[in-house]
């Protein structure tokens, strides 16, 4: 069920006035079609859902405004016997735009085109495991989205005044979509039973852990079903979860004031394993297999919980009071986030995206918190209030958090990580960069086999310079609106549409699928020119940030 969306980008003046300019240049009668109201700055938004490498898709009707509402049910069949659980459900936002096409000096035709605005990707593994998910999901909007601007609003005596017809205040600057997703019929993934595995802890510690956990089960049975303080290692043995946390060195200068941004960016670019098939389910979820730092950076694949562990260790090395949060989110189900305290304020970090939220942010994707962990103890959440933004995170409050270890028990301190791990330089990425660029050109040419595709090489060089700056802007959370204004000033004689795509590197097919979803190749104007550029920022141990800029340029009449 697609319910509604908030804070959709609005059309810029350039896009909304294109039609009127074209009509005035031709001494033609009125269009053969009824005028469409979408010439205003308000977008006409619709939502599509699709699966990667899956030819079926479904879409909603279009709704006008920056806070559109649909309340429509979409269905998408898939076969569980195939490799569907390895796929990702892609939810894309588009704007329906009516463009005037001047056929000759006497006739003007109208064409409806779709402009891609952003996407949300949810692993089918998450849906398969949880059967049903719902809530507000944050959309990924391109860093540079040519032809669109962010909705603006100003404070008034009565509250907030927006520039949209609904008159609703924007509670967040980010775009969100309200979804209800379910799987029918229900299916279950077999869980790994690790209770019989050998435990490396001494008998006194193991007994204390089990007694504490059994007491929690009696008092809070619904809060302890998805996690355990004894975790399973890749060696096939069990250990106390506190052994996962220890200050670890990172591949950046510790004294650099921007290092906190860099470690978040670095961890967020490590590829995730989204496969929930029975053969791989033992690695997913909080009761699955936990990896060490050498295994994460050596295998270059991990689960969300492993990224949370690695980022917490980096924060401990920086000297921040930090805890690992075991909980669940609406985007990936069972997961680990990072709780960090700076001065007297608490922040929650999503290790998979690198985004940092205030603990009071109502839009934080973390939906539940089972416990907090650091290298010294485990604290179970016993608060009555379960909403994250209303929760107290001071572990010294005994009526909110229950510690696992008391002073009478020696806490396991030896970590499972390799504290002497040495980072290596990444391989040269120039060949990969050229391969991706050639693949993009080849695919767009094949998708437009019925039309001649013209590539503007001069524009490609300008785009590459912008991409190099965008990596730093995103990493350090700088403002990047100037890039769109610069491109608009450079190509004043063109009507331009363009997007940036930024992803961690997994494979070429994922990149091609993301490009095809934008629909930029569907421009049917006979004079349209295309430009694309690829930039790869390499970090240590072959952790890569892939940047792609796509643009179409149509000469103005």
Is 417 a domain residue? Answer: no
CATH of the domain at 485: 3.40.33.10
Count of the separate structural domains present in the chain: 3
Residue 77 and residue 165 in one domain: yes
Let me know whether 368 and 237 are in one domain: yes
Task: Give residue 556's pLDDT.
Answer: 80
Q: What is the mean pLDDT of residues 44-50?
A: 94
Span 176-227, pLDDT tens digits: 999 999 888 776 666 667 777 899 999 999 999 999 999 999 998 888 878 8
pTM: 0.88
Q: Which of the four pLDDT bands, split at 50, 70 and 90, describes residue 13? A: low
Condensed to tens digits (0 to 9), the pLDDT of residues 193-202 reads 777 789 999 9
Residue 195 lies in a domain: no
Residues 246 and 299 reside in one and the same domain = yes
383 and 443 inside one domain? no
Listed residues 139, 158, 188: the one ending a domain: 188
- Domain assignment present for residue 172? The answer is yes
Q: Could you give the angle at the alpha carbon of 440 between the alpha carbons of 550 and 142, nearest 5°?
A: 30
Of the ranges 181-185, 323-327, 329-333, the best mean pLDDT one: 323-327
Do residues 170 and 221 both lie within one domain? no
Q: Which residues lie across from 101 on neighbouring strands?
A: 109
Structure confidence at residue 71 (pLDDT): 95
Residue 454 shares a structural domain with residue 495? yes
Q: Annotate 130-176 with three-state secondary structure.
A: HCEEEEEEECECCCCEECEECCCEEEECCEEEECCCCCCCCCCCCCE
Between 460 and 261, whose confidence is greater?
261
pLDDT of 38 over the 50 cut: no
Structural domain of residue 358, as residue ranges? 203-403
The string of DSSP letters for 168-218 reads: ---S-SS-EEEEEEE-SS---PPPP--TTSPB-S-HHHHHHHHHHHHHHHH
pLDDT over threshold 90, residue 450: no
Question: Do 303 and 244 share a structural domain?
Answer: yes
Do residue 460 and residue 319 come from a single domain? no
More confident of the two residues 372 and 413 = 372
Task: Tell me how far the alpha carbon of residue 72 is from its chain's centroid.
Answer: 24
Judge whether 130 lies within some domain: yes
pLDDT surpassing 60 at residue 294: yes
Residues 48 and 14 sit within 8 Å (Cβ to Cβ): no
User: Among 345, 369, 403, which residue terminates a domain?
Assistant: 403
CATH code of 275's domain: 3.10.620
Based on the fold, state whether residues 176 and 216 are members of the same structural domain.
Answer: no
Q: Which residue has the tokens 């229900």?
A: 186
Same domain, 385 and 476: no
Last-in-domain residue among 371, 403, 435: 403
Beta bridge partners, 113, equal: 97
| CATH number of domain containing 62 | 2.60.40.150
Mean pLDDT for the chain? 84
Return all residues near 388 (Cβ < 8 A) that are at least 6 apart. Answer: 348, 359, 364, 366, 367, 368, 369
The verdict on residue 419 lying in a domain is no
Q: Which position has the higher pLDDT, 165 or 436?
A: 436
pLDDT of residue 149: 87
- Higher-pLDDT residue of 39, 468: 468
């Amino acid at each position: 069920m697609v319910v509604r969306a908030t804070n959709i980008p609005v059309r810029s003046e350039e896009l909304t006035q294109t039609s009127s300019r074209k009509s005035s240049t031709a001494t033609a009668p009125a269009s053969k079609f009824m005028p469409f109201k979408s010439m205003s700055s308000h977008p006409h938004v619709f939502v599509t859902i699709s699966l990667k490498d899956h030819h079926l898709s479904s879409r909603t009707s279009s709704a006008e405004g920056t806070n559109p509402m649909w309340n429509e049910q979409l269905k998408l069949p898939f076969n569980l016997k195939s490799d569907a659980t390895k796929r990702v459900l892609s939810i894309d936002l588009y704007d329906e735009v009516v463009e005037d096409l001047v056929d000759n000096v006497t006739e003007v035709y109208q064409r409806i085109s779709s402009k891609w605005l952003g996407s949300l990707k949810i692993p089918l593994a998450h849906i398969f495991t949880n059967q049903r998910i719902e809530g507000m999901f944050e959309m990924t909007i391109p860093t540079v989205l040519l032809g669109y601007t962010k909705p603006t609003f100003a404070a008034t005596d009565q509250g907030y005044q927006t520039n949209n017809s609904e008159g609703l205040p924007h509670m967040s600057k980010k775009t969100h979509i309200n979804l209800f997703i379910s799987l029918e019929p229900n299916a279950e993934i077999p869980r790994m039973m690790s209770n019989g595995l050998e435990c490396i802890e001494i008998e006194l510690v193991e007994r204390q852990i089990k007694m504490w956990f059994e007491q929690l089960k009696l008092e809070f049975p619904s809060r302890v079903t998805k996690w355990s303080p004894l975790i399973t290692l890749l060696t096939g043995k069990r250990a106390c979860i506190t052994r996962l946390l220890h200050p670890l060195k990172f591949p950046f200068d510790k004294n650099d004031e921007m290092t906190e941004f860099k470690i978040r960016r670095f961890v967020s670019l490590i590829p995730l394993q989204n496969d929930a098939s029975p053969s791989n389910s033992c690695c997913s979820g909080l009761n699955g297999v936990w990896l060490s730092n050498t295994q994460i950076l050596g295998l270059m694949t991990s689960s969300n919980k492993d990224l949370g562990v690695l980022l917490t260790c980096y924060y401990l090395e920086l000297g921040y009071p930090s805890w690992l949060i075991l909980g669940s989110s609406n985007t990936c189900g069972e997961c680990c986030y990072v709780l960090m305290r700076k001065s007297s304020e608490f922040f929650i970090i999503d290790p998979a995206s690198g985004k940092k939220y205030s603990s009071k942010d109502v839009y934080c994707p973390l939906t539940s918190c089972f416990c907090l962990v650091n290298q010294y103890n485990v604290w179970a959440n016993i608060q009555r209030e379960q909403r994250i933004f209303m929760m107290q995170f001071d572990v010294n409050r005994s009526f909110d958090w229950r510690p696992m270890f008391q002073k009478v028990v020696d806490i396991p301190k030896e970590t499972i990580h390799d504290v002497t791990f040495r980072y290596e330089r990444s391989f040269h990425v120039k060949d990969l960069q050229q391969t991706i660029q050639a693949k993009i050109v080849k695919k767009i040419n094949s998708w437009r086999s019925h039309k001649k595709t013209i590539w503007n090489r001069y524009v490609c060089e300008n785009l590459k310079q912008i991409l190099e700056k965008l990596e730093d802007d995103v990493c350090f959370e700088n403002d990047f609106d100037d890039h769109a204004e610069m491109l608009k000033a450079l190509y004043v004689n063109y009507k331009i549409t363009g997007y940036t795509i930024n992803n961690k590197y997994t494979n070429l097919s994922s990149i091609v699928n993301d490009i095809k979803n934008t629909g930029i190749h569907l421009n049917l104007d006979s004079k349209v020119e295309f430009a694309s550029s690829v930039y790869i920022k390499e970090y240590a141990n072959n952790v890569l940030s892939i940047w792609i800029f796509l643009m179409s340029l149509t000469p103005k009449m």
